[in-house]
Each structure stands twice: as structure tokens, then as C-alpha cells.
Structure 1
């Protein structure tokens, strides 16, 4: 069986500078208003929370201004109405953002269909990438409201 990582590509009406800003200083505008930390420099760490108990804690591991952003998951906890026994599956996975003119490619390396949370987590990415696309297309994002 071939393992496929979660990936998505967004066509957007934004410059690479605006896209880069959304991924480094604008995370609360599209992912979760329950955001703490920083993501503007390599080794910065940030946390997004949902429903007060679910959390994703990322470390920025690579930045190429207006071209690439990479995060590594250093802590993760999920507690949802789904049969998920390993509530820390994301730890060690990486999220790669490749920025191009009017385009943003995202790869969540390690988030595969073998993960118990794959259905739930891929649906979450779909939702929040839609929020990011709305923000980048000149509207406003729809982050999780704390």
C-alpha cells in the first residue's frame, strides 16, 4: 500500500509577500483565534487550540521569505468524538508551505491515511485552508473562534 501524505494547492489572489505574512504573522486570522507564540523566525514556536483542550504546537524549522515556510509538530493532542486512541499522532510530522505567484502549495508530511485521525484531521485542514484562501483572496478568514 502506498502511503500518501495530505496535500493541497490553493490558487489565490495575493502576492507572495501577503501569503508569507499570513503564514508567519497572521495565523490567528485563518486557523484559530486561540493562538499563542510566534512564527516569524526559525525556531519560533506557536500553539493553536480548539475547544480549549485540542492543541497543535509547531516549531518553525525553515523560512525562505516569500517562498517557503516549514513547521514541525512538537506537541499535539486531540480529543474528539471519533475513535482515536493515539491522541498525539502529529508529533514529528512536518508541514511544508511552498509559495508561488498566486499559488500556495501545502504538504503535511506524515499525515497519512494510516493515522487514526486522518479523516477528521484532513477535513480540518480542508476547512482551515479554505479559510486561508478566503483571507488571501481579499476577504476575511474563518478561524476557530475561541
Structure 2
């Protein structure tokens, strides 16, 4: 990876693009149960939040939704507790490109705007996104149950 590459992860699964798209838009099923709002259609907005020392919140707007092909989230606002530039995610894009192949479907995930050269959260965010994209999302696709952050109780 070059020092200017965006944060990326790629998976391939033996399911259809439509099944993969349905799983990606089920954000509560693979990323976090702490989601407020709608997560599937163009112009939907949702907020991800957590307690503790991580990402306090991020608000996303779905700016591009092409069923079975592509989903783009624009980060409208964010507050990351663990780095000095608390709004580092603000105005970045989270992109899911879905493509069909002979053996199934590939998802290429990119968090545009986070790169190793300029991003204070790149290493920690890379570990988090890599887990959710390469472990939790495929598990949701294959079994119907991912490994999202559990709902905050209280």
C-alpha cells in the first residue's frame, strides 16, 4: 500500500450481488447495533454512536445506492474521541463496490479520505473496518448473523 492509498478491504463470497447488497444495507447486522435512522435507500441518514473511548458518533447520508452494485455513505458529521482532530471523518466517503464474478460476489470497501499519510486514525480505523468488512459482514451474508458492536444498554 502506498502512503496515499485510502483505507480499503476486499472480500469475496459465494452469494449473489443482491444478497450482498441486502447485507451491506443491514448496517445493524454487521457493524453496530447502535444505529439510529434508515440505512438502505438514497438520501437515508443514520447515526452511528458508541460510549467509551472510540468513535463517539458519526452521521452518514447515503449519496449513492445502486442495488447489487454500489453503496456510498457521505460522512456529514463526526466526533472521534481518540484522536486530536475529532472530526477527521467529516466529509469523507465510505464506498462499497459490489461486483459479480464466476465464483460469487466481490465487495471492494474504501473509506475515501482516510489514508496512511494524513490520517491520525488510519491504523486504528483500519483494524476496525478490516474486522467488520472481512469478518462480520461475510458472516452476516453466510449465516444471517454478523458480529456487530452490541447495543449500548442504559
TM-score, with structure 1 as normaliser: 0.89
Structure 1: distance between partners of 2:136 and 2:40: 20
CA shift for structure 1 position 40: 2.0
Q: Residue 46 of structure 1 aligns with which residue?
A: 46
Counterpart secondary structure, 2:143 = coil
CA shift for structure 1 position 98: 0.9
CA contact (8 A) 2:34 2:48 kept: yes
CA shift for structure 1 position 39: 2.0
- Which shows bigger deviation, 66-75 or 100-109? 100-109
CA shift for structure 1 position 55: 1.3
Structure 1 residues not aligned, in runs of 5+ = none
Counterpart among 106, 124, 129 of residue 125 in structure 1: 129
Counterpart among 105, 110, 116 of residue 107 in structure 1: 110
CA shift for structure 1 position 77: 1.2
Greater than 6 Å deviation, 4+ residue runs: none
Structure 2 residues not aligned, in runs of 5+ = none
Give deviations 1:94-126, integer Å, cap 9, x for gaps: 111111222111111111112111111111101
Aligned positions, number: 142
CA shift for structure 1 position 23: 2.1
CA shift for structure 1 position 2: 4.5
CA contact (8 A) 2:65 2:71 kept: yes
